[in-house]
Amino acid sequence: MILRSAIFAAATRVAPHVRHTPVITVEGELLGLNFPVQLKLELLQNTGSFKPRGAFNRLLNATIPEAGVIAASGGNHGAAAAYAARALGVKAEIFVPTSTPATKVNRIASYGALVIREGETYADALAACRSRQFETGALDVHAYDHADVLAGQGTVGREFEMDAPDLTHILVATGGGGLIGGMAAWYAGSAEIISVEPETCPTLHTALLSGRPVECAVSGLAADSLGARQVGALMFPIAQAYVARAVLVPDGAIAEAQRLLWEQLRLIAEPGGATALAALTSGRYVPPAGARVGVVVCGGNTDPGKISQP
Amino acid sequence: MILRSAIFAAATRVAPHVRHTPVITVEGELLGLNFPVQLKLELLQNTGSFKPRGAFNRLLNATIPEAGVIAASGGNHGAAAAYAARALGVKAEIFVPTSTPATKVNRIASYGALVIREGETYADALAACRSRQFETGALDVHAYDHADVLAGQGTVGREFEMDAPDLTHILVATGGGGLIGGMAAWYAGSAEIISVEPETCPTLHTALLSGRPVECAVSGLAADSLGARQVGALMFPIAQAYVARAVLVPDGAIAEAQRLLWEQLRLIAEPGGATALAALTSGRYVPPAGARVGVVVCGGNTDPGKISQP
């Protein structure tokens, strides 16, 4: 289990490097809902996603060898690890699959990291990364399945509670489960945490049904950020204890949530960043009457030209 | 003069209808500066710009005739007037020039207003609007030159001071001058207010040199939001008293500021929304050592596909 004290410590450690992102209250009618929603705009985080929280907490809590750091990623974690490595003056090698969009590859390279495109999925890139790590001895910065990464992502929960202390239900997208694991550890039952995944990447949904993390086929619109084949071993018991529900949404609902975020709020979310909101706007998740609902909009690394115009 | 008490009253009046927009602190290095900047994200306001503040304050402080409301606009004010009219259950007719981009025309129409495209510039649309108003007797909602509109826009200053009370220098884009007039009235010399205009729309710059509002030719990238030919009569004495400097920036600097906002912060600003920041990122305005600098990012109504990708 990740303790709240570890998340507190992470918040202090990463504070000089990450942005305390804003929360805005959105009237329900703008989103076709009959209740307001508080959005945590984690897409305005440095590097365009929540990932630097975990990456900095991992790097700042480790001794980094001469070989620097190494990571596999669908893109966002790689950008965060590269950004953190540059900030701390160490080398980074980042493995991404060939499916990672150009926006993300360019972002990683812009931070001075060496980018290696290897395999078709995140799992393939991870395998290649592990072989290379064995050769170089670089510090392996896992995208989600490490206690320091989970604690770092948990700082999203701490900030959300500071700025919106009245929330009763919080929707979070799940990929490998670092963000939702950290947030569920922070709230520890004091608010209901709702996992949202694409129907085509149902890793936590399947794991909770099976009683253990299991491999799933992953594909679809949000697979470059939510396309881990299996949730992390560390997050799973936290999810069993503190994730109230695991909801699935179709890709069409994700695209519609992206469109609403742009049309009504002038926010560009990537598919994975709009997935949590999609559970509400599609009606796949309907909170109980009187709920005070929060949603994490967790990433914006996409080509803005792909958002459909009204 | 617009009094702070009028801005206080406006803030109370419009509160149910406008968003208290967030302020974020941006490390200078992200923007190529050697000092941090506090950005007020007024592009996340309802309708995608600051304009509903003034529109609601005008409508809520007037008796609206059967004929409803009428306004001329480059686009953003029209969207705000249409949005406010719908919220209050009255009709709206909005005149825009043919140069108004489709994003803005569609937004106005989406709020149920009748949109009339007339003439090549804002001034042409304003003339047509005035003729029509004379026929119908609708409430004329001027885009900037009305005390209630100025007081409404001044609420941006009140919020910015609440959330970033230490600012010493604040950059604001000027078109007709409603936003900067209201903000300068709010700060009333307690912080230096810096006007920023495109070189191709130098209305306040020219007015301050001439000692009175004068007509200017207007064109270029930001003309759909900053392309009033002349600053308002009401804002001019406020600007003389409380606007410390009027800076001009080339269109290339505006496009570069848009690119930086997207690349570093995942924000889509329209050209007029990025103009104030452009004064800093282009070096056209260099604040004194020790200044604590704020910038209003005032609008996001543009086609996101037009932002150049890294």
Convert the pLDDT of each residue in B171-198 to its tens digit: 999 999 999 999 999 999 999 999 999 9
Please tell me what DSSP assigns to residue B197.
Answer: E
Last residue of a domain, one of A140, A165, A191: A140
* pLDDT exceeds cutoff 90 at B307: no
pLDDT category, B26, cuts 50, 70, 90?
Answer: very high
Torsion over CA: B303, A301, A93, A139 (sign)? positive
Report the largest interatomic distance among the alpha carbons of chain A, rounded to a whole angstrom.
56
Residue B21 with chain A: CB contacts under 8 Å = 24
* pLDDT exceeds cutoff 60 at B254: yes
Residues A68, A44 share a domain: no
Residues A161 and A23: beta-carbon distance below 8 Å: no
Residues B277, B165 share a domain: yes
User: What's the rounded mean pLDDT across residues B73-91?
Assistant: 97
CA angle at B174 for the pair B170 and B175, rounded to the nearest 5°: 165
Q: Which domain holds residue B81?
A: 52-140
Residue A106 with chain B: CB contacts under 8 Å = 309-310
- Closest-CA distance of chain B to residue A66, Å: 26
> Measured between alpha carbons, how far is B199 from B113 in angstroms, rounded to an integer?
33
State the total domains in chain A. Answer: 2
SS3 at position B168: coil
* pLDDT exceeds cutoff 90 at B54: yes
Residue A309 confidence (pLDDT): 58
Mean pLDDT, all residues of chain B = 96
Please tell me what DSSP assigns to residue B64.
Answer: P
Counting residues of chain B whose pLDDT is more than 90, the rounded percentage is 93
Sheet with B139-140: strands ordered across? B114-117, B92-96, B69-72, B139-140
Q: Which two tokens stand for residue A185?
A: 């550890």
Residue B1 confidence (pLDDT): 76
- Conformation bin of residue A119: beta by default, left when phi > 0, alpha when psi is -120 to 50: left
Considering only CB atoms, A43 lies closest to which of B110, B266, B307, namely B266
A23 touches chain B (CB under 8 A): yes
User: What's the rounded mean pLDDT across residues B295-301?
Assistant: 97
Sheet with B192-198: strands ordered across? B23-26, B37-41, B293-297, B169-173, B192-198, B243-249
Residues A133, A159 share a domain: no
Residues B210, B91 share a domain: no
Residue B291 confidence (pLDDT): 98
Please tell me what DSSP assigns to residue B301.
Answer: -
CB contact under 8 A, A305 and B304: yes
Residue in B closest to A22 by C-alpha: B22
A265 touches chain B (CB under 8 A): yes
Residues B260, B115 share a domain: no
Place of tokens 């790590």: A133
SS3 at position B267: coil
Last residue of a domain, one of A140, A158, A191: A140
* pLDDT exceeds cutoff 60 at B169: yes
User: What's the rounded mean pLDDT across residues B256-264?
Assistant: 96
CA distances from B296 to A46, B169, B187, B236 (A): 20, 11, 14, 20
B112 touches chain A (CB under 8 A): no
A305 touches chain B (CB under 8 A): yes
Q: Looking at chain B, how many residues does it have? A: 310
What SS3 string covers chain A? Answer: CCCHHHHHHHHHHHCCCCCCCCEEEECHHHHCCCCCEEEEEHHHCHHHECCHHHHHHHHHCCCCCCCCEEEECCCHHHHHHHHHHHHHCCCEEEEECCCCCHHHHHHHHHCCCEEEECCCCHHHHHHHHHHHHHHHCCEECCCCCCHHHHHHHHHHHHHHHHHCCCCCEEEEECCCCHHHHHHHHHHCCCCEEEEEEECCCCHHHHHHHHCCCCCCCCCCCCHHHHCCCCCCCCHHHHHHHHEEEEEEECHHHHHHHHHHHHHHHCCCCCHHHHHHHHHHHCCCCCCCCCCCEEEEECECCCCHHHCCCC
Residue A109 confidence (pLDDT): 96
Residue A63 confidence (pLDDT): 97
A217 touches chain B (CB under 8 A): no
pTM value? 0.94
- Closest-CA distance of chain B to residue A252, Å: 20
Residues A270 and A286: beta-carbon distance below 8 Å: no
Residues B291, B180 share a domain: yes
Residue A168 confidence (pLDDT): 98
Residue B209 confidence (pLDDT): 97
Interface test with B, best of A266, A297, A307 (most B CBs within 10 A): A266
A48 Cβ neighbours under 8 A, 6+ residues apart: A76, A79, A107, A299, A300, A301, B266
CB contact under 8 A, A22 and B30: no
Pseudo-torsion of CA B168, B169, B170, B175, nearest 10°?
Answer: 140
**Using one digit for the tens of pLDDT, what is the confidence trace for B133-161?**
999 999 999 999 999 999 999 999 999 99
Count Cβ–Cβ pairs < 8 Å, chain A vs chain B.
Answer: 60
- Closest-CA distance of chain B to residue A187, Å: 24
* pLDDT exceeds cutoff 60 at B310: no
Closest CA to A303 of A249, A252, A248, A262: A262
B120 touches chain A (CB under 8 A): no
Interface test with A, best of B17, B25, B266, B308 (most A CBs within 10 A): B266
**Using one digit for the tens of pLDDT, what is the confidence trace for A168-193?**
999 999 999 999 999 999 999 999 99
Q: Which two tokens stand for residue B89?
A: 């259950």
CA distances from B263 to A209, B21, B184 (A): 40, 21, 31
- Closest-CA distance of chain B to residue A92, Å: 20
Residue A306 confidence (pLDDT): 81
Residues B252, B273 share a domain: yes
> Measured between alpha carbons, how far is A271 from A289 in angstroms, rounded to an integer?
28
Element (H, E) at B17: none
Residue A1 confidence (pLDDT): 76
A308 Cβ neighbours under 8 A, 6+ residues apart: A255, A259
CB contact under 8 A, A304 and B262: yes
**Using one digit for the tens of pLDDT, what is the confidence trace for B193-219?**
999 999 999 999 999 999 999 999 999
Pseudo-torsion of CA B111, B54, B198, B27, nearest 10°?
Answer: -100
- Closest-CA distance of chain A to residue B101, Å: 13
Residues B57 and B10: beta-carbon distance below 8 Å: yes
CB contact under 8 A, B25 and A19: yes
**Using one digit for the tens of pLDDT, what is the confidence trace for A23-32?**
999 999 999 9
CATH of the domain at B13: 3.40.50.1100
Residues A219, A113 share a domain: no
B16 Cβ neighbours under 8 A, 6+ residues apart: none
Q: Which two tokens stand for residue A179?
A: 């963000």
A146 Cβ neighbours under 8 A, 6+ residues apart: A54, A58, A234
Count of CA atoms in the C-beta half-sphere (13 A) of B120: 3
Residue in A closest to B102 by C-alpha: A310
> Measured between alpha carbons, how far is B42 from A276 in angstroms, rounded to an integer?
24
Residue A308 confidence (pLDDT): 61
pLDDT category, B308, cuts 50, 70, 90?
Answer: low
A293-297 and B23-26 beta bridge pairing: unpaired
Q: Which amino acid is at B6?
A: A
Residues A178, A126 share a domain: no
User: What's the rounded mean pLDDT across residues B43-62?
Assistant: 98
Residue A109 with chain B: CB contacts under 8 Å = none
Residues B62, B40 share a domain: no
Residues B208, B298 share a domain: yes
CB contact under 8 A, A268 and B304: yes
Residues B65, B121 share a domain: yes
SS3 at position B308: coil
Residue B49 confidence (pLDDT): 98
Question: What string of pLDDT tens digits covers the 310 residues of chain A?
Answer: 778 999 999 999 999 999 999 999 999 999 999 999 999 999 999 999 999 999 999 999 999 999 999 999 999 999 999 999 999 999 999 999 999 999 899 999 999 999 999 999 899 999 999 999 999 999 999 999 999 999 999 999 999 999 999 999 999 999 999 999 999 999 999 999 999 999 999 999 999 999 999 999 999 999 989 989 999 999 999 999 999 999 999 999 999 999 999 999 999 999 999 999 999 999 999 999 999 999 999 999 998 888 765 5
Count of CA atoms in the C-beta half-sphere (13 A) of B122: 30
Last residue of a domain, one of B140, B160, B191: B140
> What was the ipTM of the complex prediction?
0.92
User: What's the rounded mean pLDDT across residues B286-290?
Assistant: 97
